[in-house]
Chains A and B, each alone.
Chain A
């Protein structure tokens, strides 16, 4: 292929402008296609491995399509695989993650929305300083708060529980959601709220009937970001929960790091897929809005 390309370059001068354009397109599409293959490879490997019986994995190539398709590994990962001493599969941990992610996303997005509204439309002296304080929370390396948080959750009687994790995710999620909503509301014209105020609308009324209806795009961004962050979180899950209260990432890691016996790669891959499906679905369904909204906020700053 490289040879063909250089030949084409040599006779390029003789080619018409149109052909040269076509050659240029090849240089654009070529790398893009190669990258697409590289990006899809791990997903392909995960899917085909999860569909193969174990003997085929140890005997054959990891990249080829399965000769015999079986859902056994998926069944095992969902309801039979052992996590620690319990052989319940991922099902209860999947439920844990759902019970954690839904309230945490709703609460952090709601609080972020109202904070963003206040920090842009009801600016008070020191509002910028308050924003700076919240913003640093976005970049906090969580190792710096693990020990005190573990102690505090213990004191509150929330240690090792789903509500405890919800609290942690909301506390650190507020920083991000406030940033998203503030950056979005900054570009909303103040005349909108001023006009509503002249009409006699108050703080909450303006938020509810003027601000919220305009902020659907950023609500979507905030929900997707929070959903992926919280669903994918491992550090808080592994630090603050144990046993049956763990989220799915912790359970997945337990399945994968089992060292006894013949390694069940097909079960590992099926388990990884199960843990990945909710966030993948969210990206597939709403990813377009996410990129649009996130970059609008992050790039414009």
Chain B
């Protein structure tokens, strides 16, 4: 009786761990073990199928000797920097405007947010069409009488990456707006009232009090947008397919074509490891601070 009871209570004590174990196992295998596996492949001469011979850093050397990869890395920096800056800026501005007791707030919020529901493939398809110089914006403006107007960035190797920025910002700034808006709603009104009584002007109140108080929202926005930026594989594929030439290549599209189209699995794995290290450098400090704060709180 006693033994049985202690067994069942011990079982009850272990039950949560037993229930969470399969998820943990799946994640350990599909995240951590697979990362390790990709890491191993990056040190082999794998081409079409994985082979497990150790060739040292050869694939990394080859990767960094590929001009296409340099384009991809440079593009990632241009794209991420502009995408983050513009999405955050526009999102914040719209959230502040929308927070001024707007009559049709619900409708406007839905309008700004709907692109987030779309697939990057859909967004890319739509923008590819809008920015097509022969049929899209350029033609409309030309037909209106301004015949010298050109907007052919999508076919211009020097400008094509900015078309990816435009489509990306269009898709994601509404999402940033939604998070900022929720942050603004969470701010205690009495702080603002007090500042107003002191005679501070509205822009000053925003700059000195409200925007600093949005720090947690800002952090969420930046982390989530960085994640979208590094993932933005489908957008490039649908919009420009990496072209013209390799003008809009990103690390994500580079990895995909190296691995699945050019049979250079080793180089593909090496590029994936480089991507992972970039993400880890951003995310791990963030996760660390988040989890530590929670422990203290």
Taking CB atoms, residues of chain B closer than 8 Å to A57 are 135
Contact pick for B118, options A145, A151, A232, A268, CB 8 Å? A232
**Contact indicator B283/A136 (Cβ below 8 Å):** yes
Q: Which B115-130 residues sit within 8 Å CB-CB of chain A?
A: 115-123, 125-130
Alpha-carbon separation in the docked complex, A2 to B276 (Å)? 49
Taking CB atoms, residues of chain A closer than 8 Å to B241 are 257
B111 → chain A, closest Cβ, in Å? 5
* Residue A275, interface by CB 8 Å: yes
**Contact indicator A276/B122 (Cβ below 8 Å):** yes
A41 → chain B, closest Cβ, in Å? 8
Residue on A nearest B113 in the bound complex, by CB? A287
Taking CB atoms, residues of chain A closer than 8 Å to B192 are none
Taking CB atoms, residues of chain B closer than 8 Å to A43 are 114, 126
Say which size band chain B's interface belongs to: 35 or more
Alpha-carbon separation in the docked complex, A280 to B94 (Å)? 22
Residue on A nearest B276 in the bound complex, by CB? A144
* Residue A109, interface by CB 8 Å: no
Alpha-carbon separation in the docked complex, A252 to B237 (Å)? 12
B215-229 CB mask vs A (1 if < 8 Å, else 0) is: 011011001100100
* Residue B259, interface by CB 8 Å: yes
* Residue A261, interface by CB 8 Å: no
Residue among A63, A168, A295 with the most chain B CB within 10 A?
Answer: A295
**Contact indicator B237/A291 (Cβ below 8 Å):** no
* Residue A99, interface by CB 8 Å: no
Residue among B34, B90, B122 with the most chain A CB within 10 A?
Answer: B122
* Residue B109, interface by CB 8 Å: yes
B271 → chain A, closest Cβ, in Å? 7
**Contact indicator B220/A301 (Cβ below 8 Å):** yes
* Residue B244, interface by CB 8 Å: no
**Contact indicator A148/B38 (Cβ below 8 Å):** yes
Query: Known: A62-B129, A143-B255. Contact between A239 and B140, CB under 8 A?
Result: no
**Contact indicator A148/B23 (Cβ below 8 Å):** no
A273-300 CB mask vs B (1 if < 8 Å, else 0) is: 0011001101110011001101110111
Taking CB atoms, residues of chain A closer than 8 Å to B61 are none
Query: Known: A147-B259, A279-B118, A282-B117. Contact between A141 and B272, CB under 8 A?
Result: yes
A205 → chain B, closest Cβ, in Å? 12
Contact pick for A115, options B23, B121, B127, B182, CB 8 Å? B23
Contact pick for B30, options A171, A269, A296, CB 8 Å? A171
Residue among A119, A132, A143, A295 with the most chain B CB within 10 A?
Answer: A143
* Residue A142, interface by CB 8 Å: yes
**Contact indicator B182/A291 (Cβ below 8 Å):** yes
Query: Known: A40-B111, A49-B129. Contact between A283 and B117, CB under 8 A?
Result: yes
Taking CB atoms, residues of chain A closer than 8 Å to B216 are 299-301
Selected A-B contacts with CB under 8 Å, 26 pairs: A28-B102, A36-B108, A39-B115, A46-B126, A61-B140, A62-B129, A115-B20, A124-B16, A134-B23, A137-B31, A140-B279, A152-B34, A168-B30, A171-B26, A234-B119, A252-B119, A253-B237, A272-B122, A272-B126, A280-B114, A288-B106, A291-B182, A295-B181, A295-B182, A298-B179, A300-B216
Taking CB atoms, residues of chain A closer than 8 Å to B82 are none
Say which size band chain A's interface belongs to: 35 or more
Query: Known: A36-B112, A256-B238. Contact between A145 and B30, CB under 8 A?
Result: yes
Residue on A nearest B110 in the bound complex, by CB? A287
**A-B interface, 5 closest residue pairs, ranked by CB to CB distance from nearest:** A295-B182, A232-B119, A122-B16, A148-B37, A234-B234
Taking CB atoms, residues of chain B closer than 8 Å to A38 are 170
Query: Known: A143-B275, A174-B27. Contact between A118 and B16, CB under 8 A?
Result: yes
* Residue A235, interface by CB 8 Å: yes
**Contact indicator A143/B135 (Cβ below 8 Å):** no
* Residue B10, interface by CB 8 Å: no
Q: Which A198-236 residues sit within 8 Å CB-CB of chain B?
A: 202-203, 228, 231-235
Taking CB atoms, residues of chain B closer than 8 Å to A46 are 126
Alpha-carbon separation in the docked complex, A39 to B182 (Å)? 20
Alpha-carbon separation in the docked complex, A138 to B283 (Å)? 10
**Contact indicator B34/A144 (Cβ below 8 Å):** yes
* Residue B84, interface by CB 8 Å: no
A24-48 CB mask vs B (1 if < 8 Å, else 0) is: 0000110110011011111101100
Taking CB atoms, residues of chain B closer than 8 Å to A58 are 135
B157 → chain A, closest Cβ, in Å? 19
**Contact indicator B179/A295 (Cβ below 8 Å):** yes
Contact pick for A128, options B108, B256, B291, CB 8 Å? B291
